[in-house]
Amino acid sequence: MKQQCSAHPFILPVRVYYEDTDTAGVVYYANYLRYFERVRTEWLREIGRNHADMVREHGLMFVVRSVTLEYLKPARLDDLLDVGVAVANLGRAQVLLRQFVRRGEEELVSGTVRIVCVDMKKMKTAPIPEYLRETLKALQ
């Protein structure tokens, strides 16, 4: 089943460096999670809702609850990749994100990441603040 999400996801260009690859010059599979984290952080910053402000002003943060990835084709040393994120589903305290890595038009990695809003003091799930909910809702 294909996830519904914004037709215009946020894209971050990422160059593959030697440190990202294994001995065959292919991106090590776990590094795609780092790319996904990086694009989520920059996406929040772009929409004016960065992690530091959430923690400082509201005592809240997003944590990853689950990840599902499909590795379709390898990325290699020195490739220029587009790493993307889009809202697939917005819940009371959770956001399901569609994330991907592309080289040109070719999709290399596809997946979903479920993030959950957490109260830092209680370390428990908390509702997404209304100011952020409205922003995320507009991106669906």
Tally of helices (H runs) and strands (E runs) in the chain: 3, 6
Beta-bridged to residue 118, according to DSSP, are 61, 125
Query: Environment class of residue 68 by beta-carbon count within 10 Å: exposed (0-12), middle (13-18) or buried (19+)?
Result: exposed
Known catalytic membership, residue 53: no
The rounded distance, in Å, linking the Cα atoms of 20 and 108 is: 15
* Closest to 94 in 3D by CA, of 46, 42, 48, 136: 136
Catalytic position from the list 20, 22, 78, 119 = 22
Active site amino acids: 22
